[in-house]
Amino acid sequence: MLLDNKTAVVTGAGRGIGRGIALALAKEKCNVVVSDLDLKNCQSVVAELKKLGVEALAVKCDVSKKSSVADLFKKAAKTFGKIDILVNNAGIFPFVPFEKMTEADWDKVIDVNLKSIFLCSQAAVKVMPIGGKIINISSIASFVGFEGLVHYCASKGGVNGLIRALALELAPKKITVNAVAPGAIETPGASKASTPDSVKQTIAMIPLSRMGKPEDIAGATVFLASDMASYITGQVIVVDGGWTLR
């Protein structure tokens, strides 16, 4: 197995893409710390992972708060001793027209989507051995604009800039830092913001003529977390069915 005897922390893993990533890691025999704001969702995912024959831990965490992040990594390190892989997946995308966007709207998205990567990555490297992997979930919104998501697009652009600089700083420790940029993915959060017509319009934009699935993002994440990607760092892998080729 690609990740046998490794341990990963996955944020925002209670559902959607994060859950898909946690399951994919577990299928490669990686132990997983499942983190999310909703502890019940975390515990549900942990039950799924344990059926795959790995160890798993559920931890409630607000990734925008330093104290909460510190507690997450303290519990993870106490349980598993080290963290080989960090997947910064937690993120939010509330649609707000720019002229109506408040400072609080802006701050919340930046804190959850960007500040969290600073906090979690800084905490992780303290317990990450040589050869560790940090994978961040970015978005094609870091390359193309979306109306009503100025704050989100800015946060994901920030993620792409952060990984390049952090990759350089952590290279002496042989810790790689990369990102996966999803396109349109079928998740509970995306479904709430969609209508049948908007889904049709979205699919019309995608050369492969389908919405992505959490498994599509999970596959790229597992690759970056494995030794097959040991010479890749500071890069963004776009997984969007060809959307950004237009």
CB 237: neighbour CB atoms within 10 A?
18
- Selected from 3.40.50.720, 3.90.600.10, 3.40.50.300, 3.40.50.620, the CATH number assigned to the domain covering 7-187+214-236 reads 3.40.50.720
How far, in Å, CA of 163 to CA of 134, rounded? 9
Q: What pLDDT, on the 0 to 100 scale, is given for residue 119?
A: 98
Evaluate if residue 194 carries a pLDDT over 80. Answer: no
* pTM, full prediction: 0.96
Helices 150-170 and 116-125, interaxial angle, to 10°? 20
**E strand spans, the chain:** 7-10, 31-36, 56-60, 85-88, 133-137, 176-182, 236-239
pLDDT digits (tens, 9 = 90+) for 102-113: 999 999 999 999
Q: What pLDDT, on the 0 to 100 scale, is given for residue 192?
A: 64
Evaluate if residue 232 carries a pLDDT over 90. Answer: yes
Q: What's the CA angle centered on 90, arms 142 and 150, to 5 degrees?
A: 35
pLDDT digits (tens, 9 = 90+) for 164-184: 999 999 999 999 999 999 999
Phi, psi of 238 (to 5 degrees): -85, 125
How would residue 193 be classed by pLDDT, with cut points 50, 70 and 90?
low
How would residue 191 be classed by pLDDT, with cut points 50, 70 and 90?
low
Catalytic annotation present for 152: yes
Catalytic residue among 73, 80, 93, 152: 152
Please tell me which residue, 188 or 225, carries the higher pLDDT value: 225
Q: Which positions ≥6 away from 195 have C-beta within 8 Å?
A: none
pLDDT digits (tens, 9 = 90+) for 26-50: 999 999 999 999 999 999 999 999 9
